[in-house]
Structure 1
Amino acid sequence: MSPAPRHRGRFAPSPTGPLHFGSLVAALGSWMIARRAGGDWLVRIEDLDPPREVPGAAERQLQVLHAFGMAPDGPVLHQSTRGARYEQALRRLLESGDAFECRCSRSELEAVGGIHRHCIGRDNTRPAAVRLRLPDGGLGFDDALQGRFVQDLGREVGDVVLRRADGFWAYQLAVVVDDADQGITCVVRGADLLDSTPRQIYLQQRLGLPTPDYMHLPLVLDATGQKLGKSLQALPVDANDPWPALAAAWGFLGQERGALARRGTTAEALQHALQHFDPQRLPRTRGHAVSAIVEGG
């Protein structure tokens, strides 16, 4: 029997602004899981949407990670440099019939419920997107934290965009190709991406790529149970004074407060806390309130 592959995790922020508290929780959770397994932790910048990117945001996000004691094991991968690899995967899908060109507009799809099951576009001169053909029927997986999750791809999702009509690559294709090329064995990320996972697994299957393990951490909610707005998410993350946000993120993940002590550098503190990190204490919900933690309650 072949030995199990070395654990490889990753954190993949989008450079659309400062690293907010929800992203810090995902970074810390993925770092702890990877380090506890004795594996590697990588960082990937998801810079696929230039109109939404903030100049310098990626560099500042990396600086924040370093200030919080989390340095990646290897070069940072930028998705903006990966177009040739995505093109190769897309060509394979087109040749197999798993992908197709689509000229449906957003308004045309909204008129039929917003889920693409067949093309209804009337303007043949409109630039074409490329979609993945998704079948009807359930596809499920066992999430390490959220448990069994099953989704009917055709009825609940519809045919997924792989390359947008404006020529930009879609997240769903890029994340699948990059996870495979980087040898990622365990994806730890926020629960807002839980329902994207079945379509990504299906795409992995059509491309003949391995499926990693998945763990979806709870979303950061306010005291009323609503997802925190970006301003509140960004509020506690300060590279010049990382300790309050780091302690809040540690507490949000359900860990013992005293295990993360303010001693030495943040990197040294995380190494000490790692000895006490217990995945069984992670909140097994899709959302978890943070207000009391941030306020010290």
Structure 2
Amino acid sequence: MAPVTRFAPSPTGPLHLGHAFAAMVAHDLARAHGGRFLLRIEDIDPQRSKPQWEAQLLDDLRWLGLSWDAEPLRQSDRRPVYSAALDRMWQAGLIYPCRCSRRDIELALGAPQEGASHAEGPDGPVYPGPCRCRPEGPRPGDQHLRLNIAAAARDTSFTETADGLAGDIRTSARDYPERIGDIVLARKDFGTSYHLSVVLDDAAQGITHVTRGADLFEATRIHVLLQELLGLPQPVYHHHPLIRDAEGRRLAKRDDARALAKYRAEGASPQDIRRMVGL
């Protein structure tokens, strides 16, 4: 079966070399095997998502020589889909409302004993559970919604194709509470979260191969679990290395000095960018 891959940028700042690498890896995989490359605009954050950033990222991708095989899917158009999935999980007793702020969570965790540290999950410290409960009544729309990981956890596995990790990656149900915790599936100001939207969107676009940075490896365990809970197909995963700066830090959108627009203005070519990122 020919692969279907995607690149899913957020229009919240300029694309940098790391984005270019991720986009080209997904694009090249699809083109090398006669597959399809799709684009997704992850604009669920209404405060930070800006039309000018979207216009620039599309221009940068075209300049790199990338093309996509359908109109971009836009997350802001899919809020009813996310809401329906949350309703299903609420009715199944798998999510609950949470009013905790970051400060509340810090206080609930308390000061670790000497030589000890709090368990870290993909989203930071594993939630200590002060709001954990069995949901009752209608689903609220003015609070965060968390996954009750103890109720939802089950044995899972996914296929990884990255060098050194190729094969089936397995997670036992008993590992999820300490390794992942009760992650947020919907933020009150977004109506969804990255974890929920990404699995629903990958299924909607028929994505067969997810290429993403190695920093999302642990998050993939969440996504595989959500695919199981929602009856969604599971793609093959490839977690590629990150592009880092001279100090070894991964690039972020605050790294405007490494923005593609800057390299373009200085006369770089798409081939120069490929060489810079090792392609």
Structure 2 residue matching 1:187: 3-state secondary structure: strand
Structure 1 residue matching 2:85: 3-state secondary structure: helix
Residue correspondence of structure 1 range 102-117 to structure 2 within 5 A: 102-111=98-107, 112=109, 113=118, 114-117=125-128
In the alignment, is residue 59 of structure 1 matched against residue 59 of structure 2? Answer: no
User: Counterpart of 1:252?
Assistant: 277
Task: Give the superposed CA RMSD.
Answer: 2.6
Match of 1:101 among 85, 90, 97: 97
Identify if the C-alpha distance between structure 1 residues 187 and 76 changes in structure 2 by more than 3 Å, giving closer, same or farther: same
Identify if the C-alpha distance between structure 1 residues 178 and 39 changes in structure 2 by more than 3 Å, giving closer, same or farther: same
Distance 1:237 1:41 in 2: 26
- Offset at residue 221 of structure 1 (A): 1.4
Contact 2:161-2:238 within 8 A present in 1 as well: yes
Structure 2 residue matching 1:109: 3-state secondary structure: helix
Contact 2:60-2:261 within 8 A present in 1 as well: no
Structure 1 residue matching 2:202: 3-state secondary structure: helix
Contact 2:146-2:186 within 8 A present in 1 as well: yes
- Offset at residue 211 of structure 1 (A): 0.8
Distance 2:35 2:141 in 1: 47
Identify if the C-alpha distance between structure 1 residues 237 and 73 changes in structure 2 by more than 3 Å, giving closer, same or farther: farther
- Offset at residue 19 of structure 1 (A): 1.2
Identify if the C-alpha distance between structure 1 residues 235 and 24 changes in structure 2 by more than 3 Å, giving closer, same or farther: closer
Match of 1:27 among 23, 26, 34: 23
Distance 2:190 2:77 in 1: 15
- Offset at residue 54 of structure 1 (A): 3.2
User: Counterpart of 2:45?
Assistant: 49
Percent of pairs identical after alignment?
37
Question: 1:185 corresponds to which letter in structure 2?
Answer: T
Match of 2:149 among 96, 114, 134: 134
Which segments of 5 or more consecutive residues in structure 1 lack a partner in the other structure? 256-297
In the alignment, is residue 225 of structure 1 matched against residue 221 of structure 2? Answer: no
Q: After TM superposition, what 4+ stretches of structure 1 lie above 6 angstroms from structure 2? A: none
- Offset at residue 237 of structure 1 (A): 5.5
Question: 1:170 corresponds to which letter in structure 2?
Answer: S
Distance 2:23 2:141 in 1: 40
- Offset at residue 235 of structure 1 (A): 5.7
- Offset at residue 75 of structure 1 (A): 0.5
Identify if the C-alpha distance between structure 1 residues 167 and 30 changes in structure 2 by more than 3 Å, giving closer, same or farther: closer
Distance 2:247 2:170 in 1: 28
- Offset at residue 176 of structure 1 (A): 0.5
Which stretch of structure 1 is more off in the superposition, 25-34 or 52-61?
52-61
- Offset at residue 110 of structure 1 (A): 1.8
User: CA deviation digits over 1:273-296, x for unaligned, max 9?
Assistant: xxxxxxxxxxxxxxxxxxxxxxxx
In the alignment, is residue 13 of structure 1 matched against residue 9 of structure 2? Answer: yes
Match of 1:207 among 201, 221, 230: 230
Structure 1 residue matching 2:149: 3-state secondary structure: coil
User: Counterpart of 2:200?
Assistant: 177
User: Counterpart of 2:67?
Assistant: 71
Which stretch of structure 1 is more off in the superposition, 148-157 or 201-210?
148-157
TM-score, length of structure 2 as denominator length: 0.79
Count of aligned pairs between the two proteins: 247
